[in-house]
Structure 1
Amino acid sequence: MIRIGILGLGGIGATHAQALAALADSGTEVSLEAFSGSGQSAAEFGWPDARRLAAGELIADQSIDVLAVCSPSALHAEHTSAALRAGKHVVVEKPMALTTADAERVRDQAAAAGLIVSPVAQRRFEPLNLELKAAIASGRLGRVVLGETFVHWHRSDEYYAEADWRADADGGGGSLMNQGLHNADLLCWLFGGAVAVAGHTATLGHDIAAEDTAVAAIRFANGALGVIATTTATRVGEPSELSIWTTTGSVHLTQSGISRWDFPTAPRPTEIEVPPSGASDPRAIGIAGHVAQWADVLRALIAGTEPMITADDGVATVAVLDGIYRSAAGHRPAQGM
């Protein structure tokens, strides 16, 4: 039995609780032992015996093997580090940290302690994305030339008022770090990693301290180029998009799946049901991706292997977003992802 704690049973913490309940219902030996947070109870999500603890007590609790860090973004690195010091493996919600330096410190601490840190990147587990990754890596789609991802979402003034950190640039609440991270992560993963970025940010549709609109140009390690654009100022919001252009064709993805497949010599992947979009409601994303990532982490713990998403992956994604912010602040490209 692998025993879990959830630090911060808010909106995303509830997703983790439901994902763990789904795994337990399917026969996985996993238990939610305790959680922190003053609002919801774990009993609402299938865990009536889970204890409510203060955050510090939860981190120190020796009955817990793995801590799910679901606190506000600016606290992720601090809470992950504290959990590692307490001897716990960690599944940390996005982002793993707000700066590259903090992400690297967490990674190095986990490595020194021999513990797992798996940053949440649930879109990598979607079967379609796994198939695309394999097709690109094999060369079946030709040489990748250009990748584009657009997150034209809407977040209301009430959304930003519900939690102060969402409106705070130093809290990780901007449209790039908070809403756009998963698509940026997916694009960079599909293309094999970024080496340089250049970006601009602006606050155009809300009275908040964080940016609500961001654009960036990316250079990938394989020589291809990319574009990332995110916003929460569009009404009413549309599902996110991702396009891949290669020397032999192109594919256009929305949150609903493939909207265009133009590879004459490569068969169109078999599509299955995909998670709902968070375009207008962040609670609409469903739990399938979190179920898949938790299943992977639990397998890794049992087998003594690394999970699919490692601390190195978290560092790479944070480095891209941190680089975009630094580029936008200094009005110059950021090198060395």
Structure 2
Amino acid sequence: MSDTSPRIGLVGAGGIAYAHMPGLLRLGPVTVYALDGGSELAAAFTSAAEAACSSITVVDSLDDLLAVVDVVDVVTPTFAHAEVVRAALAAGKDVISEKPLARTDADAADLAERARDAGRRLYPAHVVRFFPAYVRLKEAVTTGLLGDLAVLRFVRSGAFPTRTPWFADRALSGGIIMDQMIHDLDIARWVAGDVVRVSAVSVRGGENAAPVEAAHVLLTHASGAITHVAGIWGPPHLGFSTEYSVTGTLGSLSHSSRAEQDYVTDLATQDALDGFLPQIDPADDPYGTELEEFTAAFAGGPDPRVSAEDGIEAVRIANAALESLETGQPVSLVPAGAEVLA
């Protein structure tokens, strides 16, 4: 490990922290603060830290963490993102925040503004932009291989995240749309451009011990393209899977994770990931790639493929879908930066 390696602070120790930790340890020493589970997280990665010539230190407070790190990676529950990111920015740290950037539109915009005012960088961890199948899709669109996009369809499914009750509370997590489907809402905007209209429906059933939920979101892009996103939180035995089918005037491109090799990671933590996160190829870890790209940008490298503004827009689209659920009506969005006529 180089003497110039960043000192990284990881705030949170839930399931997604286990996905971040291997990549973080390759970048520098990691300091962990979490209300619960910090020591267990560190113990699970003792061998990985030694193999990476790195280290893990667990501290008792956020202030203790902020005093000794250069970069903060926020992996707390969604409703706590804004508070922790504000504290990190106020302490002069560059920040990575798990998706969504914040639970509300106002908080997401405020965090980006605070980062600009502090001269710090803030990146939302929209990791699906780093998965190879979605990189291929972006390249196919950017190079014109598919022509003008017309219809896009995305599906994401996995077990209902029952280990922590806040996931089921829509006010805290945003439910399946904000927590799970926001990945595909972001990808749709990434490849097909600004979204101007959002409609959504959802249904929840099952027993309290084994809930299930499904949602459908329809996006109209400024270009005229239409995106359909479907999300499923199913029973405990439902494995994580993703798929897409994108059609333009010159051709189509499809992906199904079920048709790809089922990699088993050596995280020793796969159980901790529950059924709502994908298995990954250890040789091509998108979480690690994401973190490397972000920390390189912090060190003066090129801008990464996802920005704070992208995080703001993903939250806006997801919250518009939630509004549509409540009202039963489509919601119109003004594209970011567009002038609003009086």
| TM-score, length-scaled by structure 1 | 0.83
Matching of residues 8-47 of structure 1 within 5 Å: 8-21=12-25, 23-24=26-27, 30-39=28-37, 40-45=40-45, 46-47=48-49
Residues 35/134 of structure 1: CA separation in 2 closer, same or farther (3 Å cut): same
Shift of 1:191: 1.4
Q: Structure 1: which amino acid aligns with 2:44?
A: E
Tell me how many residue pairs correspond in the alignment.
Answer: 312
Does residue 76 of the first structure (1) align with residue 81 of the second (2)? yes
Is this contact kept in 2: 1:36–1:58, CA < 8 A?
A: no
- Distance in 2 (CA, whole Å) between partners of 1:220 and 1:35 is 41
Is this contact kept in 1: 2:240–2:277, CA < 8 A?
A: no
- Distance in 2 (CA, whole Å) between partners of 1:275 and 1:102 is 37
Matching of residues 1-337 of structure 1 within 5 Å: 1-21=5-25, 23-24=26-27, 30-39=28-37, 40-45=40-45, 46-47=48-49, 49-58=55-64, 61-155=66-160, 159-160=161-162, 162-172=163-173, 174-207=175-208, 212-233=213-234, 236-237=238-239, 239-256=241-258, 281-286=275-280, 288-303=285-300, 305-336=302-333
Q: Structure 2: which amino acid aligns with 1:44?
A: A
The 10-residue stretch of structure 1 (229-238 or 127-136) with the greater mean CA deviation from structure 2: 229-238
Q: Structure 2: which amino acid aligns with 1:31?
A: P
The SS at the match of 1:306 is coil
Residues 238/219 of structure 1: CA separation in 2 closer, same or farther (3 Å cut): same
- Distance in 2 (CA, whole Å) between partners of 1:56 and 1:96 is 19
Q: Indicate the residue corresponding to 1:266 in structure 2.
A: none
- Distance in 2 (CA, whole Å) between partners of 1:253 and 1:275 is 20
- Distance in 2 (CA, whole Å) between partners of 1:280 and 1:4 is 25
Is this contact kept in 1: 2:102–2:315, CA < 8 A?
A: yes
- Distance in 2 (CA, whole Å) between partners of 1:186 and 1:17 is 24
The SS at the match of 1:198 is strand
Q: Indicate the residue corresponding to 2:339 in structure 1.
A: none
- Distance in 1 (CA, whole Å) between partners of 2:194 and 2:64 is 35
The 10-residue stretch of structure 1 (295-304 or 130-139) with the greater mean CA deviation from structure 2: 130-139
- Distance in 1 (CA, whole Å) between partners of 2:23 and 2:290 is 9
- Distance in 1 (CA, whole Å) between partners of 2:164 and 2:157 is 21
Shift of 1:329: 0.8
Show CA shifts across 1:185-238 (max 9, x none).
Answer: 222212123222111222223549x98221111011221011111121366356
The SS at the match of 1:282 is coil
- Distance in 1 (CA, whole Å) between partners of 2:156 and 2:233 is 8
Percent identical: 26
The SS at the match of 1:140 is coil
Shift of 1:304: 5.4
Residues 37/207 of structure 1: CA separation in 2 closer, same or farther (3 Å cut): same
Shift of 1:64: 0.8
Shift of 1:255: 2.0
Is this contact kept in 1: 2:12–2:32, CA < 8 A?
A: no
Residues 304/136 of structure 1: CA separation in 2 closer, same or farther (3 Å cut): closer
Show CA shifts across 1:68-119 (max 9, x none).
Answer: 1111111112211121111111111111111212111111111111111111
The SS at the match of 2:153 is strand
| TM-score, length-scaled by structure 2 | 0.82
Q: Which runs of 5+ in 1 are unaligned?
A: 25-29, 259-271
- Distance in 1 (CA, whole Å) between partners of 2:158 and 2:49 is 33
CA RMSD of aligned residues (A): 2.8
Q: Which runs of 5+ in 2 are unaligned?
A: 336-342
Is this contact kept in 2: 1:67–1:88, CA < 8 A?
A: yes
- Distance in 1 (CA, whole Å) between partners of 2:302 and 2:215 is 37
Is this contact kept in 1: 2:206–2:212, CA < 8 A?
A: no
